[in-house]
Amino acid sequence: MLRNSRSGWGLISILFHWLSALTIIGLFALGWWMTDLGYYDPWYNQGPWVHRSIGILLLFATLARLVWRFIQPTPRAEGSRLETIAAHLGHIALYVLVLGVMVSGYLISTADGRGISVFGWFEVPALLYDLPNQASVAGDIHWYSALALMILAGGHALAALKHHWLDKHATLMRMLNPAYSMHNDPK
């Protein structure tokens, strides 16, 4: 039940999926909220610190998730050939956007050469900094990639609901319950 099978997702993949989804939505909401903070607002410095710290933890979790995905089988896709191709390309685009948002966020935060403190537990060093307009260019990439990610994630959620309600596929149930595939596998 921890590992994936050809019939369904394991608990580890399911936890990666939902924790990532909730974290990404939360980071987007926090980032949007931070844009309206005034200089004298108590969260003016605290908000970005929390945003960066969670973002770095999500980056590590995403890298672990990608490793897990490469060493685990992928469950059989449901739907037409066109739907499975679209789903595959959509998942690749989601990963590219997630990584793009996080790398650009890192480049914004380290543009001045200082590392990123992650909740005071450890510091991620600035490896690439002092590039021309680094913070500005990375900021634009961060914002537009985050918007694209939210739009694509919304489409991803709608596709899951379409598969569940209209097509009567087990796609959504397999991502909610690792035991579902084991008990409902047609073999």
SS3 letters across 25-64: HHHHHHHHHHCCCCCCCCHHHHHHHHHHHHHHHHHHHHHH
Q: What is the structure's pLDDT at 161?
A: 97
Q: What is the structure's pLDDT at 184?
A: 62
Q: What pTM was computed for the model?
A: 0.93
Mean pLDDT by 10 residues, the chain (187 residues): 94 98 98 96 96 98 98 93 96 98 98 98 97 98 98 97 95 92 57
Instruction: Report the alpha-carbon distance of residue 75 to residue 85 in Å, rounded.
Output: 14
Q: Read off the tokens for 184.
A: 């409902």
Q: What is the structure's pLDDT at 175?
A: 95
